[in-house]
Amino acid sequence: MTEERIFLSPPHMSGNEKYYIDEAFKTNWIAPLGPNLDAFEKEMVSVTGAKEAVALSSGTAAIHMALSLLNVTKGDKVFCSTLTFVASANPIVYQGAEPVFIDSEPETWNMSPQALERALQDAFLEGKMPKAVIVVNLYGQSAKMDELLSLCNQYDIPIIEDAAESLGSTYKGKASGTFGRFGVYSFNGNKIITTSGGGMLISDDVGAIQKARFLATQARDTAPHYQHSELGYNYRMSNILAGVGRAQLQVIEDRVTARRHIFDRYYEGLGQLPGVTFMPELENTKTNRWLTTLTINAEEAGISVETLLELLNKENIEARPVWKPLHMQPLFETAKYYSHDEHEHVAEQLFQTGICLPSGSNLTEDEQQRVINCLKGALTPVIVKEGII
């Protein structure tokens, strides 16, 4: 009999969610407005330190709103990390703009400052600067924000920080997601906390977030009748789901601690094996370790990522390759792309060798041991002088 399936990153309820849901039912706030929604936004402000937040139907919607607030429109260019989930870039296309993809660098796996610098220089020479740069914090790890910000500031280009995977992480002591003009979080079912589906847009620009709240509720003008002067969207979060979010946010610190422990146990169990390299943690940052990710050097490890994934799947363990870079996607075939340097394509390399292991905060030690044992059985063992250990 095969053992129960171990999922990559399943939802993990705190137990308090029902209280806020019941409250919404008792008071009949079954709508995309209400007390849970107001409170959830305030609580996100206090957790992140941003000045204002608006709760939306998804992280994708939050990116879309940020681009809309920055007046990104047809014919514009927007730079975006290439190593990410497609949702980071899709809203660029919703706005009729053109994405330009920027490679990763090896220390964070996130946007390479030197690739960004070349892309900005080219854009400057062409006389067509990007309207925004979308910087992704992958698997919880903050990008090199100081370097990226200083480049963007030289040309006065706003950063949208896609922190969908990095809620609870910090960069130099400050919350991940609060470094760009706008920050984006996701509460999709697989994220570190979840509302089943949902997102949040944050900023220190209070007026911009108020504008987003207006645009996300069909851009309804103040008038007794239904009057609209601007194009709006139906992007608000439901008051019921905001209740789930409130209970989830109360345990964010526990969730980060749990995921970091999971990383530590994988590292202890597998870190010494030949050909295995774990995703680094940049100095002065704390990653939430949303997913434990590592790369496999097939030659040294004696097995390819592909075969390893098949093997794990046979053991009923859900593992995944690292995101396929967006410049390699058929959807973005014609998009421009800047590599880390001429001969080094970091994101492509990570895609070929990377693997994400089950990392849910509710993963038990026994379950994790099952994953470790399966990997240990497949990878080349450590060779010491006395023989094999």
| Pick 162 or 315: Cβ nearer ligand PLP | 162
Buried b (16+ CB within 10 A) or exposed e, 325-339: bbbbeeebeebbbbb
Buried b (16+ CB within 10 A) or exposed e, 235-257: bbbbbbbbbbbbbbbebbeebbe
As measured in angstroms, the least distance from the Cβ of 184 to ligand PLP is 7
Out of 140, 177, 180, 199, the only residue in the binding site for ligand PLP (CB under 6 A) is 199
- Check binding of 85 to ligand PLP (CB under 6 A): yes
Q: What is the residue whose two structure tokens read 């910090």? A: 170
- Check binding of 188 to ligand PLP (CB under 6 A): yes
Return the closest-CA partner of residue 81 out of 114, 113, 121, 110: 110
Measure the N-to-C terminal CA separation of the chain; round to a whole number of Å: 30
- Check binding of 165 to ligand PLP (CB under 6 A): yes
Kindly tell me the sign of the dihedral angle through the C-alpha atoms of 111, 361, 53, 325. Answer: positive
Number of residues that bind ligand PLP (CB under 6 A): 14
| Pick 186 or 203: Cβ nearer ligand PLP | 186
- Check binding of 60 to ligand PLP (CB under 6 A): yes
- Check binding of 318 to ligand PLP (CB under 6 A): no
As measured in angstroms, the least distance from the Cβ of 223 to ligand PLP is 32
- Check binding of 66 to ligand PLP (CB under 6 A): no
- Check binding of 58 to ligand PLP (CB under 6 A): yes
What are the backbone angles phi and psi of residue 336, rounded to the nearest 5°?
-75, 150
- Check binding of 164 to ligand PLP (CB under 6 A): yes
| Pick 85 or 109: Cβ nearer ligand PLP | 85
Q: Which stretch binds ligand PLP (CB under 6 A): 84-92, 101-109, 149-157, 168-176?
A: 84-92
Active-site residue identified among 131, 144, 191, 286: 191
As measured in angstroms, the least distance from the Cβ of 384 to ligand PLP is 40
What's the CA gap between 69 and 209, in Å, rounded? 9
Edge-to-edge strand list for the sheet holding 354-357: 276-278, 292-296, 354-357, 320-321
Based on the residue annotation, tell me whether 191 is a catalytic residue of this protein: yes
- Check binding of 216 to ligand PLP (CB under 6 A): no
CB neighbours of 149 closer than 8 A, spacing ≥ 6?
159, 179
Q: Which stretch binds ligand PLP (CB under 6 A): 34-42, 57-65, 118-126, 339-347?
A: 57-65
CA distances from 344 to 143, 280, 339 (A): 18, 18, 7
Return the closest-CA partner of residue 243 out of 66, 27, 50: 27
Q: Which parts of this chain interact with ligand PLP (CB under 6 A)?
A: 58-60, 84-85, 87-88, 136, 162, 164-165, 186, 188, 199
Catalytic residue set: 191
